[in-house]
Structure 1
Amino acid sequence: MGDQAAPAKHQMTEPLPAAARADVDALFESGELFRYGVEGDSPVTRLERTFAEAVGAPFALAVNSCSSALFLSLKALGLEPGARVIIPAFTFAAVPSAVIHADCVPVLVETGPDLRLDLDDFTRKFDDSIDAVLISHMRGHISDMDAIKAACDARGVPLIEDAAHALGATWRGRQSGLVGRVGCFSFQSHKLLNAGEGGILVTADEDIIAQTILLSGAYEHNWTKHPVVSDRFAYWQNRLPHYNMRMNNLSAAVVLPQVAEIPRRVAEGRARYGQVAAILSRAPWFDVPRALPHEHRAPDSIQFGLVGFEHDDQVRDFIARAAARGVKLDVFGLSADNARAFWNWKFLPEQAELPKTRALLMRSCDLRLPPRMNAEELDVLGDVIVAAAAEVMAGR
């Protein structure tokens, strides 16, 4: 089983669309990269309008990162310092960081074997001390939003969705990020839409959008340059600090023409995922999480659990054998200083031991599926992973 050809190396991102060049060239000519320095609609304003229409949200605010979107959303909820915010234990370090920046305390909840929120642990920890819930759709795996939303509504607790990995994914036919009070998305280079860095939040709440616009740095009356009409701006004017988290026009010009590409990119991502998942699912050593009944994912990577790997050395051997054939696999819990392993978040004000999540991450593989990889190369990719596991299991 050692003769599989190594898959070709690919860039992890698509080329930027040629349609972006006209706006970028105009910005170079004008030199006006500040969103509020442009007469009429700036590229950022057009992006907010276009994105809101594309996902079916009343309001959108483009900012400099998804982390900023999460932070601003928490601040707009009016939480008191020390407020306790539930987050999944399986997420990226930026999520608990945003909670801490907002002067709140992250409360970590276990993750189930399908990489989604463990609802039993969520129910145990969702007591009267909890002031908000922030759910990450980590790697595009959407948790049971019906159950989570019902629990939040029953207690009158606000719900925020971190949909950084879930643009194009749907829950009950609606874009992820629209179930809670606010949904936050990422435009970092390895996400579905690529601005290099950037993010956007969506909401139907006029108070939330007015506050987040002002908090993001819309000083004086620059809020009038947003595609939002609400009398809440007049109320919040001068009552809020400015955090200067605006998106600039160059980032918006780059990402704006990509919004129309969302359906194509999602369809192609699902096809790539389905092809590799089918190969791995036929082998006895892998557990590929299945979608929930109301979930339609938009994956750009694949995650799978290792079955029968009793010792860490076996896992490391498997990773090395795959790497020798040109396939780089990460195991969340065995990758040094991995920012998705909760025990590496030494900055947390409260350290927690979460045995289910720890065990899960010690046997969960993570693999990007580059958009430039063709069907033949995806077959090779899957076959290499199966062959590497077969060799390790044969030597037990």
Structure 2
Amino acid sequence: MAARRAPTSGGPTVFTSQEARLAVEGGSPVRTGPWPTYDKGDVFISTEDEAAVTEAVRSRLYFRYDHRPYPDTCTGRFERRLSRYFGTAHALACSSGTTAIALGLLACGLEPGSPVACPAFTFAATPSAILLAGHRPVLVECDADLHLDLDDLKRVLSEGVKAVVVVHMRGFASDMPAICDLADEWGVPVIEDAVPALGARIGDRHLGTFGRFGAFSTQSDKSLNTGEGGFLLTDDEEAHARAVVYSGAYENRMNRHFEGEPPAVDDLAYPIFSFRMDEIRAALADALLDRLPRRLALHQRNYGHVAERLDGVDGIALRRPVASGAYLGEALVFRLEGATPEQCAWFARALCAEGVDARALGDRGDKNVRSFWNWRFLLGPDADAARAALPQTTRYVGEAIDIPLSANLGLDDCDDLVTAVRKVLSALA
């Protein structure tokens, strides 16, 4: 690890000439150890979690609908714990966050091909889920903090969208009270894509509990990581029953999801899509729930440590939450105000050379599917035309730098990040 000045909040960090030479230009990097990310095997797992999976495998019962009473299955227990944790009436474990969003839309009973609003700054899975449910995505601009732009949402609501899929992108909450008020004015349902924000809140209320449905993922680097998987939350009993059927509960298996009399939903009136979670993933997810509060606390600690030391640094605009603490903290996102996409791409490469994984979200040479102009399945092959149609999002995403923050980071690692950002920023200036 290279010698360096200790990072401080406020004024500029002073580097010696040797320290100031960037690693991308042959200098010594701030750190030489790997930056922990899920694709390098970074997981938040214990021996107890591993034991739960082993027990499920040895049971020889891998299908969620077997001879046992449903509450005795791994999936049934996991769903009931989710309902208690989030304070919702119903939870449905499924195969992915994408299918959870699609199930919520399907259960809303919209006319096929309905226009459904979603933010232009999101992962490609959001519009993909809308298409999977048989509807048409309508993209909404983001604001300077990369949140859903309320004025543009008003515009698309006035033009007749039939539902709104809100995304808490990179773990930062959208303004759910304001969005739900707007949607209520137009009488359209809200589905929360809380896939990247499992465990985050606005005040005392969990994200994923504001809309009619809340969709979550348990894939890759999510707060509960089972490799693949997801779940859906709702308080709407009848809509929940429809989602259960769509997910693959056939031959009266829907009834197992209700302790009393099930709602009068005809399980032969809907197609079944086999979007179920299996027992092995449910066993792992259920065990991981025990340590979720610890993981969330570490995310908040690490993000707060980094944000405090970068707040007010000239040249970068930290993403601001819609309310105090309304973020997960698993990613640091800031904008290089006024920088070109090419400058931001260079900045991200320089950070990576310093030993801190980073990505310029608007890098034109990167097939990053968080950049809407790469959604050829939706917008066609002309990226310039796509960017021209959404100039506000193009600008703000084009200035954005994204750095993953593992719960396994120590405060020394966080200090390395701060030092690397200040070092590269000094060179850019």
Structure 2 Cα separation of the partners of residues 130 and 229 of structure 1 = 36
Per-residue deviation, 1:128: 4.9
Matched, 1:24 2:53: yes
Q: Quick check: 1:315 aligned with 2:344?
A: yes
Partner of 2:11: none
User: Do the aligned residues in 1 keep the contact of 2:306 with 2:418 (CA within 8 Å)?
Assistant: yes
How many angstroms does 1:295 deviate by? 5.5
Tell me the C-alpha RMSD between the 2 structures. Answer: 1.8
Match of 1:80 among 102, 105, 111: 111
1:287 aligns with 2:348: no
Contact 2:254 2:267 (8 Å CA) reproduced: no
**1:108-147 correspondence to structure 2 within 5 Å:** 108-147=139-178
Tell me the residue number matched to 1:6: 31
Pair 1:366-2:396 in alignment: no
Matched, 1:266 2:296: yes
2:414 paired residue number: 378
Q: Which residue of 2 aligns with 1:248?
A: 278
* Aligned with 1:236 (options 266, 278, 284): 266
Structure 1 residues 280-337: Cα deviation after superposition (integer angstroms, max 9, x where no partner) = 224201100222236522221110000342x344323322322221122101110611
Q: Aligned partners of 2:196 and 2:184: how far apart in 1?
A: 25
- Alpha-carbon separation, structure 2, partners of 1:245 and 1:274: 37
**C-alpha deviation, 1:98, in angstroms:** 0.7
Separation of aligned partners in 2, 1:106 and 1:316: 29
Q: Note closer, same or farther for the CA distance 1:32–1:378 as it changes in structure 2 (3 Å cut).
A: same
CA offsets 1:224-252 (integer angstroms, 9 cap, x no match): 332554532x4322111100010000001
Cα 1:274–1:80 shift into 2, 3 Å: same
Partner Cα distance (1:229, 1:19) in 2: 33
| Stretch of structure 1 that moved more, 105-114 or 38-47 | 38-47
1 CA distance for matches of 2:373 and 2:209? 30
Match of 1:184 in 2: 215
1:344 aligns with 2:374: yes
d(CA) in 2 for partners of 1:49, 1:291: 31
1:332 corresponding residue in structure 2: 361
* Aligned equivalent of 1:354: 390
| CA spacing shift, 1:244–1:319, aligned 2, 3 Å | same
Distance 2:74 2:138 in 1: 38
User: For the residues of structure 2 that align with 1:102 and 1:323, how far apart are their CA atoms?
Assistant: 38
Shift of 1:21: 3.6
Query: 1:315–1:26: structure 2 CA closer, same or farther, 3 Å change rule?
Result: closer
Is residue 49–residue 227 contact of structure 1 (8 Å, CA) maintained in 2? no
Which shows bigger deviation, 198-207 or 280-289?
A: 280-289
Provide the secondary structure at the position in 2 that maps to 1:265. Answer: helix
Code of the residue aligned with 1:286 in structure 2: it is I
Partner of 1:96: helix, strand, or coil? helix
* Residue of structure 1 equivalent to 2:199: 168
What is the number of equivalent residue pairs in this alignment? 391
For the residues of structure 2 that align with 1:112 and 1:364, how far apart are their CA atoms?
A: 12
Secondary structure, aligned partner of 2:154:
helix
User: Relative to structure 1, is the Cα distance of residues 294 and 382 closer, same or farther in structure 2, using a 3 angstrom cutoff?
Assistant: closer
CA contact (8 A) 1:96 1:106 kept: yes
2:397 maps to amino acid: L
Alpha-carbon distance in structure 2 between the residues aligned to 1:146 and 1:387? 39
**In 1: Cα distance, 2:338 partner to 2:133 partner:** 42
- Runs of 5+ consecutive residues of structure 1 not aligned to the other structure: none
**Mapped partners of 1:349, 1:369: distance in 2:** 31
- In structure 1, the residue matched to 2:81 is 50
Amino acid at match of 1:67: T
Q: Which range moves more in the overlay, 101-110 or 368-377?
A: 368-377
Q: Mind listing any 5+ residue stretches in structure 2 that lack a counterpart?
A: 1-19, 22-27
User: In 2, Cα distance between the equivalents of 1:228 and 1:10?
Assistant: 46
Q: State the alpha-carbon separation in 2 of the partners of residues 93 and 149 from structure 1.
A: 23
CA contact (8 A) 2:238 2:265 kept: no
Runs of 4+ in 1 over 6 A off after TM superposition: none
Q: Which moved more, 1:327-336 or 1:193-202?
A: 327-336
Bigger shift: residues 341-350 or 7-16: 7-16
Contact 1:300 1:368 in 2 (8 A): yes
Instruction: Give 3-state SS (helix, strand or coil) of 2:179's partner.
Output: helix
TM score, norm. by length of structure 2: 0.87
What percentage of aligned pairs have identical amino acids? 36
- Please give the alpha-carbon distance, in whole angstroms, between the structure 2 residues aligned to 1:230 and 1:155: 33
CA contact (8 A) 1:162 1:177 kept: yes
Residue of 382, 390, 394 corresponding to 2:426: 390
CA deviations 1:26-72 (Å, max 9, x no partner) are: 33223221111251311011000011101111100000001001111
- Structure 1 pair 372/124, CA: closer, same or farther in 2 (3 Å)? same
Match for 1:52: what amino acid? S
Which residue matches 1:95? 126
The range that moved more, 11-20 or 114-123, is: 11-20
The answer to whether the 8 Å contact 2:44/2:408 transfers is no
Counterparts of 1:126 and 1:158 in 2: how far apart (Å)? 11
The Cα shift of 1:158 comes to 0.7
2:230 alignment partner in structure 1: 199
